[in-house]
Amino acid sequence: MITEENLYRDTFGVLKLKRDEGRDEVAVRPTRAFPLSDPHRFVALVDAGGTELALIEDLAALPPKPRELLLQELEQSYFLPQVLAVQQITDDFGVQRWEVETDRGARTFEVRSREDLRWVHPGHLLIRDVDGNRYEVKRFEDLDHASRIKIETYL
Q: Where are the domains of the chain?
A: 7-77, 83-154
pLDDT at 94 over 90: no
Pairwise pLDDT comparison (126 vs 4), residue with the higher score: 126
Q: What is the pLDDT of residues 12-53, one digit of tens each?
A: 889 999 987 667 889 999 999 887 778 889 999 999 899 999
Look over the chain and give the mean of its residue pLDDT values, rounded to a whole number: 91
pLDDT over threshold 90, residue 144? yes
HEC profile of the chain: CCCCCCEEECCCCCEEEEECCCCEEEECEEEECCCCCCCCEEEEEECCCCCEEEEEEEHHHCCHHHHHHHHHHHHHHCCCCEEEEEEEEEEECCEEEEEEEECCEEEEEEECCHHHEEEEECCEEEEECCCCCEEEECCHHHCCHHHHHHHHHHC
**Amino acid 80: pLDDT:** 85
Between 114 and 35, residue with greater pLDDT: 114
Q: Please tell me the predicted confidence (pLDDT) of residue 132.
A: 85
